[in-house]
Amino acid sequence: MPIPEEVTGDEIDKDVRQELQSLPKTLAEDVARNLVMVARLLDEDPEAAYGYSRVALRLASRVAAVREAAGFAAYANQKYGEALAEFRAARRMTGSVELWPVMADCERGLGRPEKALDVAGAPEVHKLDKAGQVEMRLVAAGARRDMGQLDAAIVTLQSPELASNSVQPWTARLRYAYADALLAAGREQEAREWFAKAVESDRDGSTDASDRLAELDGVEFMDALDEGESESDGESPAAEDGGKD
């Protein structure tokens, strides 16, 4: 797959670069450039990212960072079985528990919420950092919802991190998940309060909490295209109500 000339491979994380030092120099550079492309395209073009990850995997399947990148690319393309296999391989190579939450979410993607809960209850969870533990809590709550256990999902999300007033990178997503679970359980007023709290903490727009809050408040958004078409047909909001002043 073509790689822009300006991508040198030096853009990768220093820890990954160190892993690649076990490879011959030219091969390490090729792998690094493909990994850079995976990282760049993962969100905007996951299919292309997957293609670059397969090239990197073909070149250096015994490098943990490559297996991890291949796992995330497969995960982004909803290839959950493949992603889980790659994450497991990376874990065997490094011994790290960092991928434990996403491994559990792969089990959900494969339609095995009970297995996801088994992973969430494993001893490895206690070795996760705070961000990892919050992520695992989100996955476990999602698994409960998959099984139709809405009240259990709500309880799963209730935690010191949810109650804290400090804003962390995970705060908006945690509050959003809690609000969504409350809404699914029919607790609309509580859901509104937590969607509002999610909006307050969502500094980078990682959720659509503001839209969900607006829906609960009965705010309707007019489609810009529909409005344009209406005006082009000689109609206007005034015309719709008879044009009265």
- Average pLDDT for the chain: 90
pLDDT at residue 239, rounded to an integer: 37
What pLDDT shows up at residue 238?
40
Asked whether the predicted pLDDT for residue 232 surpasses 60, the reply is no
**Which pLDDT value is given to residue 217?**
86
CA distance 202 to 175: 10
Contacts (Cβ under 8 Å, ≥6 apart) of 129: none
Mean pLDDT in residue range 27-55: 96
| pTM summary value | 0.84
Share of the chain above pLDDT 90, in %: 81
Q: Is the pLDDT of residue 147 over 90?
A: yes
Q: How far apart are CA 151 and CA 137, in angstroms?
A: 14
pLDDT value, residue 219: 73
DSSP character string of the chain: ----TT--STTS-HHHHHHHTTS-HHHHHHHHHHHHHHHHHTTT-HHHHHHHHHHHHHH-TT-HHHHHHHHHHHHHTT-HHHHHHHHHHHHHHH---TTHHHHHHHHHHTT-HHHHHHHHTSGGGGGS-HHHHHHHHHHHHHHHHHTT-HHHHHHHH-SHHHH--S--TTHHHHHHHHHHHHHHTT-HHHHHHHHHHHHHH-TT--S-HHHHHHHHTT-----HHHHHHHHHTT--HHHHTTT--
pLDDT tens readout for residues 190-203: 999 999 999 999 98
For 204-213, what is each residue's pLDDT tens digit? Answer: 888 999 999 9
Q: How confident is the model at residue 7 (pLDDT cuts 50, 70, 90)?
A: very high
More confident residue, 238 or 120: 120
Please answer whether residues 108 and 143 qualify as being in contact, where contact means their C-beta atoms are separated by less than 8 angstroms.
Answer: yes
Q: Are 93 and 84 in contact (CB under 8 A)?
A: no
In this predicted structure, what is the pLDDT of residue 85? 98
144 vs 217, residue with greater confidence: 144
User: Whole-angstrom Cα distance, residue 210 to residue 221?
Assistant: 12
Residues whose CB is less than 8 angstroms from the CB of residue 232 and which lie 6 or more positions away in sequence, other chains included: none
